[in-house]
Amino acid sequence: MSAVPYDLSYSMRQFLYDRVRPIILYALAGIFVVWTVAPVLWIATMSVQPEINYVSVPPKLSLADVSLRWYADMLAQADVAAALQNSIVIAFTTMTLCLVFGALAAYPLSRLQLPRKNWFLTISIVSRMIPSMVLIIPMFLIMRQLRLLDTHLSLIIVYTTFLLPYVIWMLKNFFDQIPYALEAAARMDGCTRLGALFRVMIPVAGPGVVATAVFAFIGAWNEFLFGLILSTRLAVPITVKLSALVSSTFHSDTSLVAATGMLAIIPVVTLVFVLNRYIVRGLVEGVKY
Amino acid sequence: MSRVSLRHVAKSFGPVQAVKDVTLDIPDGAFVTLLGPSGCGKTTTLNMLAGLEKVTRGDIFIDEQNVTKWAPHERGMAMVFQNYALYPHMNVFGNIAFALQLAKVPKAQIKERVHRVAKALELEALLERRISQLSGGQQQRVALARAMVKEPKVFLFDEPLSNLDAALRTRMRSEIKKLHQQLQATSIFVTHDQEEAMILSDYIAVMREGLVVQYGPAEDIYRRPQHLYVATFIGKPRMSTLSGHLRVTNDGAMTFESDTITLRWPFMPQHGPIIPIDTQAHLGIRAEDAQLLVDANATAPHSSDVFHGEVTLVEPLGSDTFIEVSRGGNAIVVRVAPDLHLRPQIPVSVRLPRHKLHFFDMANGNRIDL
Amino acid sequence: MTKTPSPSGFWQRFHRMDESKFGLLLTLPTVILVLIFLALPIAYAFFMSLNQIELTISPDWDFVGVENYVGLLSDTRVTATIPRTLYFAGLNVVVTTLMALCLALVLNENFKGRNWIRVFILLPWAVAPVVSGVMWRYMFHQSYGLINAILSALGLINKYVVWFDDPTFALSIASFATAWKALPFSTLILLASMQGISESLFRASKMDGANIFHRFRYVTLPHLRPTLIFVVVLQIISSLQAFDVIFTLTRGGPGQGTVVLNYLTFVNAFERLSIGNASAMSILLALLIVSLSGLSIYISMGRKK
């Protein structure tokens, strides 16, 4: 290259690469970040400002007015606090059940010779496609029959059933990546088949299991339709509570609704920020056929 | 320490018969190698012994006890794997101690036993290391330690050396041999490397296509191969073979003829009944048994047990030199002294002493005993 | 020194159980759940779709065969949702796919802070659809929406626009909100696919003198095609299932302006209480989605090769 030090096309290219490329990249990245963050940031702003500030034209946002009192107000309300608690209980239990049942089912699908294995795999894919709307009426009737309406259990059962096919699929893909010899070694060392699964396979698939767990937790936390229909008073999750607040005219202060919206996303957003590395891998694994 | 036997053991994967019919008796404390190329069923046989693979037909006994249906953890065996199969989520100590923890051995005792084994394998300094921080050789030593610490009835080795580089492989091979001499535990070793098998084993079972072709003391396998397959699989360099027509007459004279060569051995070297033979056969001879005649004229005129040809390849190894002597598509490899400076295309003669020859039936490859 | 096998007959039999039987045993909890809470409801829904039912304390069942299905065709409320659903889905597909492709291309480049951006981009994926409905409602709100504030600050509008009074605006916003939520996932799978392009292919094309646009056109795009189709099908499916976002964003308004197919099913079931009709709609929707999904799986199988 030094032979032609002032080759115009070469220096032009270098200029484009060194100067123009970063500008374009950062500009585009900036636009996308604004697009993803703006709605969240706006509701977050609303949740810490008195309504009068953002209702005025133009909005008068002020740092001096920042306050967390709308959060405090909402948490002090028994029904909102209960909804949060419901969501935590339901999402956490669903996640646990999904991991246990999912690992139990993913292990033979990944490792053992199972009659009609393809059948199982096909069903687990097909059942992921069933829209909730088909199931919602029958599910309501079944739960009413089982006298489980408005209980945590009904939502836990529904969410676990719905998320299991995804969870099994993700875990199976993670188990597939573990060499067979590792499991064989565990069994030679004295593990039973289940022992090898829980003491070796699951710990070794660690990051994948974490991703799957987060996926199940978020899936259960964010669900809305079943929550809306199957709960009325006692088991109402936060998503349903929020939708009720949005459409009710009872709360005159929009900051309160915004704070509730924030409360509904803070736990999952925190999870995603802390565990994002695992989640990215997990999501990509989840769509591999 | 245990006797292990397999009785007509077979394994099918769907329509594929991986192991067809294997019967082996492994004496207490013996080091036995299952030797064969990939796909011969040796690893499947080992896995069935371990209980990792279900037996389709046949029975497995440990000390006269039928364990065919037992789970792996009930059999009291230990296994060393090809890819080490160390637990990446535990450190070295954890890997070695795992089996003892599962067996609910008291903590103090675990510590003591792990340290004893680690000392024997020079792993003491590495106990706190993570597996990913170890070299291949260290990993294999940890795998050995993990098997040893259980003090198992039987050791199983699934090609444990094949992932190591040449120098390390030789070292680990000696280490395994020393360990076996110390522990005297029944060991079953799977490999495709005949040299490894010869060096390590008391007994070798040569396998092919799901069957044991020959099972016996390592020396026998080398000296008296019962099948052309065994003869050419075992030994380095490969046993040279010529194909032709073998004829032994009533008076004990023997001829071996093909289009380009005629070999004749007039006398019976041994006493005993003479069985006349007249069949198509392979003649086999090992490089160290063929004799290079420097002066071709020195051959006794009545003896025509000499193969005349020209040198086509010279492979000096330092301690020995192997040359290939060819004539009309037939070739014989001969071991010669390293100070003989031979060059390709020199005409030479090779004597094939009658009592060093192996003959195999061309139809089925079986040994023909003369 | 190894422990002798436990004498207990039950555990012994359990440990020595046949591999396939053991495997079936492990899948049992899942199988039971799926049978009772997935297969049974589907059968139930299908059965209900053949009846005329009013959802009261003791519903009266009246077998009508395929009448519910036939009725859908002549139901103007149903036919009216079709152009709305198509518009909603089309906009969602175009916005999501183009943005995801562009974002994936950006994230595939090496630059400082890329990993941080990747984390931020993931945010919408975690947000519940219901909450994203609320967020976009507040973004476009007539009196305190950020969009109005920005547009008037830029002098583009004189007075705040009541966005949700216009059916096309409302439907577009619903579509944007759905695309917003879908962006992270679509980007991630496109990015994963891009990282599967071998470096040597790029180097070879560079040697041939290809510029960045040529490389995109002749190397990246052909490689991404199956994944792109997968993303498109996925967005069509998610548009057909849209409900949560619209529920908190517009509640179907103005008028019927944002009532898409799936939303209408909900309205028919739980507001008009005509269960048979809603079941028939949902069954048709399910069939549509399953066949589309089958297509996308078929494509993603091809993606592997």
Q: Are residues A213 and A256 in the same domain?
A: yes
Residue A214 forms part of a structural domain: yes
Residue A1 forms part of a structural domain: no
Instruction: For residue B83, give the chain A residue with the closest CA.
Output: A181
Instruction: For residue B89, give the chain A residue with the closest CA.
Output: A204
**Lowest-confidence range among B149-163, B224-238, C205-219?**
C205-219
From CA C286, how far away is CA A131, in angstroms rounded? 6
Instruction: Give, in order, the Cα–Cα distances in Å from C305 to each of B315, C193, C196, C223, C298.
Output: 46, 12, 11, 11, 12
From CA B45, how far away is CA C261, in angstroms rounded? 60
Give B102→chain A minimum CA distance, Å. Answer: 6
Instruction: Say if the Cβ atoms of B74 and C1 lie within 8 Å.
Output: no
- Tell me which of A186 and B328 has the higher pLDDT: A186
Under the banding of pLDDT at 50, 70 and 90, the label for residue C176 is very high
Structural domains of chain A, count: 2
Q: What is the pLDDT of residues A39-93, one digit of tens each?
A: 999 999 999 988 888 888 778 888 888 888 889 888 888 889 999 999 999 999 9
What is the pLDDT at residue C76? 84
What is the pLDDT at residue A100? 95
Q: Where in chain B is the domain with CATH 2.40.50.140?
A: 240-361
Cβ pairs A/B, distance under 8 A: 63
Instruction: Decide if B173 contacts B3 (C-beta within 8 A).
Output: no
**Lowest-confidence range among A234-243, B133-142, C155-164, C211-220?**
C211-220
What is the pLDDT at residue A4? 45
What is the pLDDT at residue A251? 58
With pLDDT > 90 as the criterion, what percentage of chain C qualifies? 27
- Rounded average pLDDT over A88-101: 96
A182, A184, A206: residue with CB nearest B52: A184
Instruction: For residue C5, give the chain B residue with the closest CA.
Output: B74
What is the pLDDT at residue C62? 77
The structural domains of chain C, with segments of one domain joined by +, span 76-304
Q: Are residues A88 and A32 in the same domain?
A: no
**Lowest-confidence range among A213-217, B70-74, B343-347?**
B343-347
Give C177→chain A minimum CA distance, Å. Answer: 10
Cβ pairs A/C, distance under 8 A: 275
What is the pLDDT at residue C305? 44
Q: Chain B contact for C10, CB < 8 A?
A: no
- Tell me which of C273 and C169 has the higher pLDDT: C169
A184, A187, A203: residue with CB nearest B89: A203
Q: Does CATH number 2.40.50.140 belong to domain B240-361?
A: yes
What is the pLDDT at residue A3? 47
The CATH number of residue A213's host domain is: 1.10.3720.10
From CA C68, how far away is CA C62, in angstroms rounded? 11
Instruction: Say if the Cβ atoms of B151 and C2 lie within 8 Å.
Output: yes
With pLDDT > 70 as the criterion, what percentage of chain B qualifies? 95
Burial C59-85 (b: 16+ CB within 10 A, else e): eeeeebeebbbebbeebeebeebeebb
Chains adjacent to A (≥3 CB pairs closer than 8 angstroms): B, C
CATH number of C76-304: 1.10.3720.10
Domain boundary among A24, A44, A65: A65
CATH number of B4-225: 3.40.50.300
Give C2→chain B minimum CA distance, Å. Answer: 6
Q: Where in chain B is the domain with CATH 3.40.50.300?
A: 4-225
Q: What is the pLDDT of residues B271-303, one digit of tens each?
A: 667 778 888 999 999 999 988 886 655 555 445
From CA C254, how far away is CA B208, in angstroms rounded? 78
What is the pLDDT at residue C202? 72
Q: Is the pLDDT of residue B201 over 50?
A: yes
Contacts with B149 from chain C: Cβ below 8 Å: none
Contacts with C19 from chain A: Cβ below 8 Å: 112-113
Q: What is the pLDDT of residues B15-49, one digit of tens each?
A: 889 999 999 999 998 999 999 998 899 999 999 99
Q: Is the pLDDT of residue B99 over 70?
A: yes
Instruction: Say if the Cβ atoms of B81 and A181 lie within 8 Å.
Output: yes
What is the pLDDT at residue A31? 93
Residue A113 forms part of a structural domain: yes
Backbone angles phi, psi at A48, to 5 degrees: -120, 10
Cβ pairs B/C, distance under 8 A: 23
What is the pLDDT at residue B204? 93
Name the average pLDDT for chain C. Answer: 85
Give A176→chain C minimum CA distance, Å. Answer: 16
Q: Are residues A19 and A110 in the same domain?
A: no
B69, B73, B151: residue with CB nearest C1: B151
Q: Chain C contact for A34, CB < 8 A?
A: no
Which among A135, A98, A93, A77 is positioned nearest to A251, based on CA atoms?
A77
What is the pLDDT at residue C3? 46
Q: Are residues A270 and A226 in the same domain?
A: yes
Question: Residue A123 sits in which domain range?
Answer: 70-286
From CA B93, how far away is CA C160, in angstroms rounded? 70
What is the pLDDT at residue C246? 92
C12, C15, C19: residue with CB nearest B54: C19
- Rounded average pLDDT over C177-200: 88
Under the banding of pLDDT at 50, 70 and 90, the label for residue C302 is low
Instruction: Say if the Cβ atoms of C15 and B150 lie within 8 Å.
Output: no
- Rounded average pLDDT over B86-100: 92
What is the pLDDT at residue C193? 86
Under the banding of pLDDT at 50, 70 and 90, the label for residue C143 is confident
What is the pLDDT at residue C170? 93
Q: Chain A contact for C277, CB < 8 A?
A: no
With pLDDT > 70 as the criterion, what percentage of chain C qualifies? 91
What is the pLDDT at residue B189? 93
Residue A192 forms part of a structural domain: yes
Instruction: Give, in order, the Cα–Cα distances in Å from A281 to each of A207, A215, B261, C112, C186.
Output: 9, 11, 69, 21, 14
Q: Chain A contact for C98, CB < 8 A?
A: no
Look up the ipTM and state it. 0.87
What is the pLDDT at residue C2? 44
What is the pLDDT at residue A50? 87
Instruction: Say if the Cβ atoms of C5 and B74 lie within 8 Å.
Output: yes
Instruction: Say if the Cβ atoms of C18 and B74 lie within 8 Å.
Output: no
